[in-house]
Every structure is written in structure tokens, then in C-alpha cells.
């Protein structure tokens, strides 16, 4: 790859939640019917060139995971259930985010699109990790950085875990 494309392109709706540490976006390459392999590769190259050390996918399927391997980008997969109890997945995901940030990694969290569920997971992490004091602060911050309101699916995820059940 040569020229301006060698640096890649940022994923759509890329947004920093914690500048230079934690970001969110839609799935690199786009979501379901709009997904393009070439765009996915360009976006993964951009992530790698920007110093991202890890990607966390909340997709219910393993889409993109092989592409992250192909481009040498570490990843974790936390398939967030559309129904049922999300707490086991959230507990693992939040601990992974916490460990990755403590290790100094730049981290991207995504699902197919940047919507309520990604917003709710990251807002929940901010309260769980005690980086913010309460849910209203987390909602206000996430709505501000995303530029739109978080709906009920996000608010339910935000409320799913209260306080960190830290590992010993």
C-alpha cells in the first residue's frame, strides 16, 4: 500500500472517550450490509498506525477477528447477548478494559454500529472502575462525546454492574 492510503483511515464514528487511551467506533469496515473488506483493512491499518494495542469486539459473531490477526492487532471478543443476563460478559470485559488501560494500551471498543449498547458498556465501565462517580455523570459524558442520546438498551447495560468485583 502506497501514498496517502498507507496510513489508513479512521473507523467511522471514531470517538475518544478517554483521549489517547479509550475509544469507541462502529466495526472497522462498516456494519453488516455496508461492510467492505478494503475499508476494514484500511481502518485496521489506521488503528495500528495510531498506536492502538488492542481491540475489544462486542459483536455476537466472530466477524473481523481473523482480520485483526492478519494485521497484527491484538483483540478480545466479548459477545454481548441481546437477551439474558449480560453481567458475566460485562464483568470480563470491564476487567479487560481496566487491565489494558493499566498496561498503557490504547484500546478501541466496538460493535457493528456506534449505538446504545456500545455507549452503555463504556459508560458502565466508567462507573464500575470508579473513573466517574455515578450513572448520570457517565450518561452525560458518553452522550456528549457521541453527540446523541443513549437509549434504554444502553442504560440497561450501564446499570447491570455496580462497583468493581476486583480480582485478588
Check residue 83 and give left, alpha or beta (phi > 0: left; psi -120 to 50: alpha).
Answer: beta
Q: How many C-beta neighbours within 10 Å does residue 141 have?
A: 18
Q: How far apart are CA 93 and CA 90, in angstroms?
A: 5
Res 36: pLDDT: 85
Helix axes 87-102, 116-128, angle to 10 degrees: 60
Give the pTM.
0.91
Tens of pLDDT, residue by residue over 45-97, are 999 999 999 999 999 999 999 999 999 999 999 999 888 899 999 999 999 99
> Which CATH class name applies to 7-160?
alpha beta
**CA-to-CA distance for 125 and 128, rounded, in angstroms?**
5
- Residue 166: what pLDDT? 47
Cell of 138: 457517565
pLDDT digits (tens, 9 = 90+) for 90-107: 999 999 999 999 999 999
Please spell the DSSP secondary structure of the chain, one letter per residue. --GGGGG--PPTT-EEEETTTEEEEEPTT-SGGG--HHHHHHHHHHHHHTTEEEEEE--SS-TTHHHHHHTT--EEE----SSS--HHHHHHHHHHHHHHHHTT-EEEEEESSSSHHHHHHHHHHHHHTTSSSSHHHHHHHHHHHHTS---HHHHHHHHH--S-----
CA 115 to each of CA 94, 121, 164, 166: distance values in angstroms, whole numbers, following the listed order:
18, 10, 24, 28
Q: Please report the pLDDT score of residue 82 as a whole number.
A: 85
Listed residue (26, 77, 16, 79) closest to 51, CA to CA: 16
Where do the domains of the chain lie? Answer: 7-160
- Residue 128's nearest CA partner among 102, 87, 165 is 165
Amino acid at each position: 500500500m502506497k501514498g496517502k492510503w498507507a496510513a489508513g483511515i479512521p473507523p467511522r464514528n471514531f470517538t475518544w472517550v478517554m483521549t489517547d487511551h479509550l475509544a469507541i467506533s462502529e466495526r472497522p469496515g462498516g456494519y453488516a450490509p455496508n461492510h467492505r473488506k478494503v475499508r476494514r483493512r484500511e481502518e485496521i491499518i489506521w488503528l495500528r498506525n495510531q498506536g492502538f494495542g488492542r481491540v475489544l469486539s462486542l459483536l455476537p459473531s466472530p466477524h473481523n477477528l481473523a482480520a485483526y490477526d492478519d494485521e497484527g492487532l491484538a483483540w478480545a471478543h466479548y459477545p454481548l447477548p441481546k437477551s439474558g443476563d449480560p453481567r458475566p460478559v460485562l464483568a470480563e470485559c470491564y476487567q479487560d478494559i481496566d487491565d489494558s488501560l493499566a498496561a498503557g494500551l490504547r484500546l478501541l471498543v466496538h460493535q457493528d454500529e456506534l449505538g446504545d449498547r456500545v455507549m452503555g458498556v463504556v459508560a458502565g465501565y466508567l462507573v464500575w472502575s470508579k473513573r466517574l462517580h455515578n450513572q448520570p455523570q457517565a450518561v452525560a459524558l458518553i452522550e456528549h462525546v457521541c453527540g446523541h442520546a443513549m437509549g434504554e438498551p444502553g442504560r440497561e447495560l450501564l446499570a447491570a454492574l455496580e462497583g468493581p468485583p476486583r480480582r485478588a
